[in-house]
Structures are given as structure tokens and as C-alpha cells.
Chain A
């Protein structure tokens, strides 16, 4: 019996140490208790926000399935109904690509909100700290800009969601006009605090610069200028932001068009903001595989419209044509030249291997040529009679080998403001095809329905917006759907 007493005693001792025994000590992840302590933590958290960009369901692929595959240059073969209905612009609220776009955007916003909320509390150099917050605010603005262009009114969440009872968990839609205000305020903060491109160390290229914030602001103002809630000074502001960027001496157009897409020449003088990709162990870019015909080692998932292939470029415009599109090429599978369905040959990588998902191709979000074209657009909007509006556009043409005066635009070959817009629509396609802005360009410039009708695709007004994913509507009773969708 004595032994029993001893035993019970031992059990009691054990019980008191149970608390420690049952404590969880995470081994492979950080927690709020041990993160956001140092400047290095802040950097890692910012990298985490950037990380979301590389996902296939975001800036790795979905970005152009949403913006290019639904416009007049790119089309998918029969098969994948998400992509086909986006192309035909009869997509519904169950479209998986649209859900990817929604989900991935908010996922990055979540990360950005976390940085914006917690980094200011870290004891570190103020400039460095604001630079990190500025980067996060740029990325948040970029995501909200994508969302507001795609869906109109959206939930606007600007602080971390904590706990299941947080009211922002089941958010209502915020009017688009208010979303734009938040975007502009975020970008202005980024413009103030982000490092100038020439001051970003080569090892940190890829971070947001003040110039990137300015260029993005230009795009935002220009886009808002074409909406019903435009601010009267939007075009002026867009112009001012373009001028800021163009004024920075470290931004220049690359002499050779193809160098823009050279995987060995990333973050050259023309690049303003790019989503970075690299071969494993980094994340590679699947876009190259998607665009490449199967005979050339790709997955033949998207092709170039015959109309653009046949008539998109004049004979003189051969530099860009030869780089951007092709219907035959040397196969990396067996080294022979093969003829194929016309495709976009714009993105290439000498280190890409047959059928690989991974290429080094960077996704260019903003580059100087676009800023020049935006400058021209803003000038045309402000005063169609201003001859300066041809300057930016002609500079971009000249770089593409269209230097001859007969190849340059002026009031005699581009008479009205509307003619100018038509030229701009064509030129933006030639210069910026499949760079992720086509749908937004066409909508902003008022040419979407017209361009799509040339392909036999009728756009109803409802399909100028995308539906909020049905899965989201079903989970959040506070969300209403866009007209024409269920």
C-alpha cells in the first residue's frame, strides 16, 4: 500500500508539470509573439507581400488571362471553358480565373495590411521604415487598382483582419470612387518615401521606387479620368506624374526593343516596375510555356489573333513585329524550324527548357514607353489641339525603327482627337501587346466594344465589369453582385 501512496504522489507531481508538457512550441513558423521585432523582420514581411505576386493564380499568369485573353489580341484554343468564356466575354460568376484574380489580389492586400500595421512599431531608421511601408502601400494600391478596374465597387480593407469576430471579415462593398481615393493616397505615400530607382542597390532591384509610384499614379489618374466619378484634374495630374518620371534622367528608352525582354538585362533604364521571376529555387514564370506552341516545346495554351498577326503592323514596323509575333520558329525540342499557328513570341528565355513551367521572364508592370504613351494620351485629353501630344507617341515609334517623318504622327495624318485615340489604340497594341493592360486600355479609351466586334464578339454593358465570384457572394451575405450576374 505504501507503494501506492508513493505512486499517487508521483502522479500529483507529474500533474503540476503537465502545464509545461502541454504547451505548444512552434518549430517551423514564427508567431506574433516573436515577429516584427527588427528591421530584418520588416524586410522579410515585405518580401512576403511581394511573394504573392509570383503565384500562377496572380501575376504569374492570371493577370494576363484577365486583361489580355479577354481583349482583342490573344485567344485560347477550345477546351478550358474559364478561358474561352473570358475571351468571348460571356463569363459568369463561377469563372475560376476571375475567382483567382479576386482571391490572389486580396491575399496580397492582406500581407500589405499586415506590414502597414506592424512595421511602424519597429524601432529602426525612419527612412528605411517608411520605404518598407511605402513599398507595401504601393503593392496594396496596385492590387486595389486591379480590383476596382475589374469589379467596380469592392470591399476596402486597410487593416489586418484579426479573429473571427472582426467586422471587416464580412465586409461590404465600398464605392469605386472611394477605393480610388485610397489607391491615390497609398501611391502618394509610396511616391514620397520609396527610394529613387538609381539609389536602389542592384541586389534590391525589384523593390518599388518613387518613379514606379509616380507612373502608377499616372495610370490611376488617367483611368479615373475616363470614369463617371472622374476628378476634373485627373488628366492634369496624370500628365504631371508622367512628366516626373520622364524627367528622371535614369529612365530612358532602350535602343533595342528586344532588350526590354532580355532575361539577362532586367531592370534596365526603361523598366519602372516588374514582377521578378527566376529559375528554381526561385519561382519561374509559366507565361512563356503558355504562349509557346507545342511543336516548340510549349503548351500551346494561347495564340495570337490572326487579324493582329496579319494586319497589326505595317511593313515598316518590322522590329516589333518580328520580336512580338511569329508563325514559325526554331524548335528547342529538335532544333528545326517549324510552322505553327500564329503566337506571341515576345517572351523568350535562352535557359528555358522544353515544356518547363519555369522561365526567367519578368512580368513588366510599368515601363517608360508606356509612360510616354500615357503622356500623349493625357495631353490629347487635356487639349486635343496641343501638338506636344504627338511627342511621346512618336518617341516610342522612333525607337521601333519608325523614325522616318512619314512614319511619325502629326495633325495631317491624325486629324481629330478621336483619330488620335484610334492611333493610340493601335500603337499601344504594337508596343505593349500581351503586357497586361489591353482590356483596361480599350475600356479607358472607349474602344472595347468596337475592337471586340471586329472579332465577332458582342460586349454587353454588364461585361465591362466582372462578376464578384459566386463563391465569395455565397460566403459573404453583405456583398451584392454586379448587374447581369448571379
Chain B
């Protein structure tokens, strides 16, 4: 590979130098006398071109003939032509156009000039981020787009990220936005996209922008556009970085001696309560004195892990053909042992002008990702991340022979847990995913202004998971080793056909019309197979037939289809009054026979006030636009076949030597009336530019109501069913968002740019199918064993509140308990629970809302400083005003046998000893469910990224280089928060709408240090 690359490079440079030439050198500067880099310098009428370096300098070999005309062009600047006679050095000044307005952004089924937009569209381009390595594509969005909340749910490399645009619309169906990659809608999962290939990401937020995606637009739309070649340039980009990651924070648990003491006190208390079943104390005083610090199980599990990324890209083109080809390899080991993520991608984008009227092309990527995960994490809250916290620190990781110990000790005093480090290190769970995404198009200009475009594309992915748990581990010994292989295939094809018509009449009326139809199908199939009883661990899960006990294979498949018609009319009157109307009709297979089709209209109006004379005269205002829109979008993100009555498969055992027989059971209550969720939203916004757009501001207010919610309505279980899927209920989101960019200092050497964005969203449940509240959310195994839920959906309250008891301190004396008149079995040292209804009993009626998972506002700030060749970028982001239910804390402070947090050393132990940590044997809080002292403030401000880069003057040394950038980055630099867990940006239940803000043994986040170099030739 390397050799091939070198050979290619050599060949490339040879071709460049062979012709008879003379040399023109020069420098391009701005009106403010600042050097301009990246300016295209092209010989008019020829393909010879170059770009300026960081000093604005260029050097161009032109044919030995005079004169030539050089064309200087750069985005945001006026194009300039310069006649050059003899070989010489020239100096060129480019004047700025008002910045940004003529930038073209991608919108649904087309592009638009920023100045013409009527909807709320945020755009992040690779150019904004080219000095910072992007590890994950979604990082481009966090804290950079107002109104978009991104939560990295888990520290596991390659894990999913939750994205919410303008709040939570839906209760039971998906709230994730629609992803459109190079026009291919429904290509979710950014994990397999190489972030280095991304040219820009547009976020469509209001109905004017999203209604063209109809039934999939309600949660916002994210358009990803990958890089294309640029005519006249041939650029080779080589980019590589290396980094290390460390666990950013550890939880403070008891050491061995403290835990020994704790365990003894726990057993003494248990013996006092149940003398009939008394046990000897686990440790004698003498043993405790010798326990020392013991094992730090977190240290045993977490490690300093490397990461690396390499990319080689070739791009360029001529008048007819543009190409982009890239190769990328990314590897990230997890900070948890035996976890990690690898990704290799090849992208090829090509387009070709066949004739003046016909253009064809394609975008394509193939990717292979491999994710190594914790096999012991059989469910949320389980797995090594939680188990290491539970282990007795007196239990060693290795025995005297250096082999892994088997399980937690001493039994039966501590929880039965296998050695979690052995569990994860000896086992493997690898998910390898191959994904190919290709979209071909042809575009034909029928008459000037009228274009027909057809595309056909496919997104295919095939994931194979292999799991093996050897007999040597605790978990493996339960089944004598277990092996598993599962394959799941997803296949989607899409055909889109659009007609666009663009025309300006009399310089007064301009129209831009698009209409079309698309059909798309999504096909999934999955197959699983497993066996247990392995006599050897040598082959892992590769040969399942080696397991003596072959399990029933699983197979499943779904097919859902979507057919749509859509149209959009943009009408601009005098380039000042802008109107947009869109309409989409979607037919989806997922809905009841009576409701297959849904219709989603929107309309918008914008007024370019800055083009009115009375504003134009105000010199400070360089741009001013008011926007307003209203529209209806839908949500169809439920599984397939939900409207049908299903008979599902299960099994029983019959026979005197029982063997499995197949059974069939009714699974759900059918609902032939099942239909779309419908979100109607209104948006009002302003775009403002001041001082030649040195300061730009975009602000929006929106008001959205979602009705016909696809709601899993709980039904009495006496029916044998637990819920029914209905279109019921109503949710409202309203919010305000603003983003400001300011070029604070714009000198020739020193530059300082600040971008700030802020968003606030208020969510309210307006209707829940007639009931006032329903139970919601999950918490896993550590609390609420009583089958209740941590949250309620309550009419009048936001989605995602925590519902439970109010903690009021600790009963200090029996006298205090007696005087309070509280009935029930309480002893000093138990927590005081507020008796809200004053009936002297603590019952379910004393529960109330004790926290809110949704933040009051979210914000982000980027500061870019550059001084000469140095650039420093500091990116901060944060959320404010949310609460987190720290379930991890439950399992370490409520009297169980898991290793407690170190503050339990100071647990109540007699009057006056503590008013915060109950006596060690009190499991009251755990039994009650959500108690307010486990609700913590989740506000945080994080210095997310600090990048220092140096634009090395290599191009000066040799013209082989067009640019060379050296950079150092620290990610997750520091977090200012009062939250006690690993990470305030936590959501153990990932994308589960109703269980957000729950911290349950998450994979902790890493702090990452990266050094890299990026060169173009």
C-alpha cells in the first residue's frame, strides 16, 4: 500500500514538471492587508491552477507565451482578473463580498443561497473545523448548532449518540432526526461515515425546511454532504493523528479495610434483626487490621488506550469531471480493557458532464467497522463497568499463581459476582459491520432552467456479531462456555425523481420550483445461532458445533415501504420578499389500512429588510432578514407491523424426556386505525449582520405541537397484555435559540473569532389519552424492585421528570421518631421521608416530582485565536438546569453488599453522626424507589476541546507541499459540575425517551490527547 502510494506520488510530480514553462509568483492580500490563503489562482482558459498558501503566496508555472490572464477567486471575495506579461512577481488585493450571504447551503432536494432561505437551517462546514480532528461525525454538531442537544450516552467507542433537535416531540416513537447522506434519506448511523469526508452538515429545524421530508421530518433533518472534487485543482491530502485516552474521573469507593469494617457492621445489624439465621462476622478485627488498601478494581479495569487515524485523499477535476477519492483508517481502543472500535472506509465521489445538458455521477462509500464490546453487559446497568464498583477491594484480581481469581469473596457476605476483569479480558464480543452506500444520479436540462434529475441508490449493511464466553470465567462456567453468532442485514433502496425549474422574470419575480416522487424500501433480516457446553475454548465462537448443546436458532425479518410525492415553490419578489410553499404526501406501509397516506404542508415568508432602502442607509446593518414559517410534519418511527394482530412463537417442553415443542401466543391488541404522529410547528426568526457581517446573529422562536402521538398506552394486565399502541396524546415544545458569531479582532497577524449559541426548550405533556399520569422510564436492577417506574408522564409537566420521595435527613433518636407520630417500622439511622399528605404514613401518595431530566438551556462557545501561523481553538459546551437520577449511587450507599462510596464510612452511627448517609443496614431508600437525595444537579460546563495548531512553512521550503498543519488537541479537557458521578453528560438508557438522565453504571468517558499532522500536496 505504502509503496503504491509513493509510486503514485512520484508519477504525479513528474507529470507536473515536464512542460516548458515560466514561473509567476505573487501574493494575495485582503483590503485590510491580511494575507489570503486558499485563493484559487487559475490561468484563464486553461486548466493550470494553484492555490495560495497561508501567507497568501502562490507560485504558478505558465506556458512560455505571453500574455496570460490570471483569475483569482475565493469564497466570500469578488473574483479578480489580472493581466500578467513577463515572468514576474505580482501583488493582488481581493475585496470581500459581504460575508456569508452568498454561501450556498444544502436543503432538502436542492441547494439554496443562505440569503434566500426562509426556514431555519444551520450549517456546519468542514472548513469551520479543519484545524480540529473530528473523531466522530456527530462531534461536528455538539455545541455548534443552536437548538441541537447531543448526548454521548456511553463511553464505549463506537456507541450511539442521542440527538434532539428542538426538544422531545414523541413519547414512544423515535425522536432522533432523519439523516440524509448525499441525498439518501434514511441512511442513519453516522458511525460508519468517515468524518474526514464530510464537506458540510446542515441541520433543518423548522417546518419550512423539514416538511419536504414529510412523515420523517418532525424530529428535524440532518443533511450530510461529502466532499467533491474542485475543478482546476488536484490535491492530495494526507492526514494522520495519534492519541491516548485516559479515564477522566474515578469514583471514590471504600478501600479493603474500610469495606471489611463495613461488611462486619452490616452483618452485625442483620444478625440483630434475624437472630434465627445469624451468621458469623465475615472478618475478625485482626483480619481487618491486615486488609490494607486492597485492590482498586477501577484501576484494574481501565487503562491508557491509544487511538489513531490515517487518511489519504485525492481530489480535483477539470471542467467536465470532478473526483474525490479517500482512504481512511481509524482505530480507537477503549479505556476499558478489551473494548474498542476500528473503522476503515473508502469513498469515491465522481461526477461527469457528458454534454452541455447531461450530467451523471455518483457518491459512494464502503466501510467496515469493528466494535469490541463488553460481553458481560447483558443489559443496562450490568457489565464490567458496574461490577468493578461492586467488588470487595479485599478480593484480588489475580491469585498467587498470576491467574485470574474466580469470583468475589468472602461468600455469602458479598454479592456473587465473577471477577469482572477476567470476565471482560477472557471473553470477546465483536461486532463487525460492512456497509456500502451508493447513490447514482443523472441530471438532464430539458430546457434552460428546467432540470430533470433521477437517482437510484442503495444502502446495504451487514453486521456479524461473535460472542464467546469461555469456561474459565464465572459467567462461562454457568453454561460450560457459550458461543454466539448473529448476523443482521439491513438493505434499503431508494429511487428519487425530481423536476426543478429556475427562472427570473423581469428581474422582479424569481421562482425556484421542485417537484418529484420517490419510492423507498427498507428490508431487514437477522439470524442468530448459539451453543453452550464447550470442551475447549481454543476456537471461540468460530465453530459453534463444538458446543455440545446447540440452542434454538433465531431468525427475523421486516420489510417496510414508503412512497412519496412532494413539491416546493420558492418565489422571490424583488429579491426582498421570499415565499416558500412545500407539500409532501407520504404513503407508509407501517400504518393501518385506513391511514396509509399522510399529507404534510408548510408555508414560509421572509423579508430581506436590509435590501430595503430605509435599512440600507443604516451603515452598521449589513444584513437583516425576518423569517416566519408554519407547517406540519410527521413521525413514523415505530416498528413495522404494529397495527396488526400478531401471533408470536415460543416453546414448551413435552415428553417424559422433555423436548422442545413450538407454541404460538397472541402478542398484542391490534389497532387498524394506527396513523402518523403529527407535529405542527410555527417558527419566527431573524438573521442579522452588523459591521459588514463582522457580527452575525441568528435567533429563532418556535412553537410546536405534536398530536396523534404514537403512544404505548398501558392497559390493565388482567387483559394479558401490558400495553396497546394508540394515536393518543399531545405534547408541546416551545423554545428560543440564538447563535452569534463575532470576529472580535481581525488584524493582519492576530485574529480572534467567537461563536456562541444558546437554546432553551420548554416541553409539556398536554394530553395522555385522558389519563392524568402514566408510569414511565426504567432504572435497572438497583432500585424499584417493586415494579414501579422512576418517572411519570404527567399532563402539564415535561417528559422526563423524576417521581419519588423527598429526603429530609435522618432520624437521630427514637424520641424524635415517636414525637413525629410517623407510623411504620423506623429506627434511628433510617432516612426521614417527607410525609407530604400528613397522614403519618409513608405511602405512594407521598411521592412527588423530585427532578427534571430536561435542561433549562444548553449552550456552546467556540473561540478561535490565530496569531500568524499559530491557531488556538477553544470549544466549550454545557447544559444548565437539569437533574440526574444517580442510580449508580443507590447500589453503593443503600446498605447492600456492594462496595460503597467512601462517604458511607461516615454513615449514621448514633445521634448526631450524620444527617445525610443513613445507617449501614438501612435499605429503605432502595426499597422505596426514587428518593430525592439520589437526584443531583446535572448542570455542567465542559471545556470540550482545546486545539493548538501550527501552520508549518513547509510550502516555502519546497513547492511539493501546498500546506502542512501540525496540531495538538485535548478533548474532554475539564468539566465544571457539581455532579458526583463519572459524567454529567450521561444517559444510560441511550435513546429511550422516557428514561433520560439516568446514570446507571455507564462506561466512563475518556480524556483524550491527540497530536496530528495534515498535509496537502
Contact = CB atoms under 8 A, between A and B. Distances in A.
A354 B477 contact: yes
Interface in B869-915: 896-897
Interface in B480-497: 480, 497
B786 A205 contact: no
A485 B19 CA distance: 95
A38 interface: no
A4 B726 contact: no
Contacts of B277: 75, 77, 303, 305-306, 341
B656 A81 contact: no
Contacts of B996: none
B726 A266 contact: no
A48 B927 CA distance: 35
Contacts of B926: 81
Given A3-B452, A14-B519, A29 B663 contact: no
Given A293-B412, A305-B276, A281 B660 contact: yes
A198 to B, nearest CB: 13
A35 interface: yes
Interface in A12-62: 14, 18-19, 21-32, 35, 41, 44-54
Contacts of B538: none
B404 to A, nearest CB: 16
A173 to B, nearest CB: 10
Interface stretch (B319-327, B644-652, B738-746): B644-652
B654 interface: yes
A168 interface: yes
Interface of B is mostly: mixed
Interface stretch (A106-114, A212-220, A236-244): A106-114
Q: Which of A45, A109, A354 has the most CB of B within 10 A?
A: A354
Nearest to B670: A163
B561 A109 contact: no
Contacts of B923: 78-79, 81
Contact of A164 (B276, B517, B671, B844): B671
Interface string A137-181: 000000000000000001101001111101011110000000000
Interface string A456-472: 10000000000001111
A315 interface: no
A405 interface: no
Given A29-B647, A486-B845, A23 B557 contact: no
Contacts of A11: 497, 517, 565
B662 interface: yes
B162 interface: no
B663 A95 contact: no
B666 A114 contact: yes
B496 to A, nearest CB: 12
A82 interface: yes
A269 to B, nearest CB: 12
Interface string A63-85: 00000000000010111111001
B641 A94 contact: no
Contact of A110 (B641, B719, B775): B719
B588 A22 contact: yes
B529 to A, nearest CB: 11
Contacts of A353: 477-480
B658 A26 contact: no
A206 interface: yes
A110 B650 contact: no
Given A47-B651, A277-B658, A299 B416 contact: yes
Interface string B774-792: 1100000000011110000
Given A28-B555, A205-B655, A355-B474, A14 B517 contact: yes
B667 interface: yes
A203 interface: yes
Interface in B659-682: 659-667, 669-671
Interface string B717-750: 1111110101000000000000000000000000
A8 B921 CA distance: 76
A182 interface: no
Contact of B662 (A47, A360, A486): A47
Contacts of A162: 669-670
Contact of A18 (B447, B587, B653, B921): B587
B1011 interface: no
Interface in A197-234: 202-207
Contact of A267 (B551, B644, B646, B656): B656
A276 B596 CA distance: 45
Given A22-B589, A23-B589, A77-B412, A279 B717 contact: no
Given A202-B655, A295-B411, A471-B788, A109 B720 contact: yes
Interface stretch (A366-374, A437-445, A473-481): A473-481
A321 B478 CA distance: 28
Given A26-B646, A27-B559, A164-B671, A294 B416 contact: yes
Contacts of B942: none
A282 interface: yes
B446 interface: yes
A190 interface: no
A70 to B, nearest CB: 16
A280 B551 contact: yes
A32 B517 contact: no
Contacts of A307: 276
A410 interface: no
A384 B3 CA distance: 101
Interface in A263-285: 264, 266-267, 276-283
Contact of A161 (B274, B555, B654, B719): B719
Contacts of A54: 652-653
A145 B464 CA distance: 47
Contacts of A14: 517, 519, 563
B654 A207 contact: yes
A143 B53 CA distance: 81
A312 interface: no
A446 to B, nearest CB: 24
B552 interface: yes
Contact of A22 (B273, B480, B587, B661): B587
B729 to A, nearest CB: 14
A102 B589 contact: no
Interface in B241-285: 270, 273-274, 276-277, 279
A28 B588 contact: no
A306 B659 contact: no
Nearest to A274: B658
A335 to B, nearest CB: 14
A276 B652 contact: yes
B73 interface: no
Interface in B542-571: 549-552, 555-561, 563, 565
Given A31-B647, A82-B785, A470-B844, A47 B718 contact: no
12 contacts: A22-B588, A24-B640, A28-B558, A48-B652, A78-B921, A202-B656, A203-B655, A204-B654, A282-B651, A283-B652, A471-B788, A475-B715
- The list of the 3 closest CB pairs from A to B, nearest first, reads A110-B720, A47-B663, A48-B663
Interface of A: 1, 3-4, 7, 11, 14, 18-19, 21-32, 35, 41, 44-54, 75, 77-82, 85, 90, 92-96, 99-100, 102-103, 106-111, 113-114, 154-155, 157, 160-164, 166, 168-171, 202-207, 264, 266-267, 276-283, 293-295, 299-300, 303, 305-307, 341, 353-358, 360, 455-456, 469-472, 474-476, 479, 486
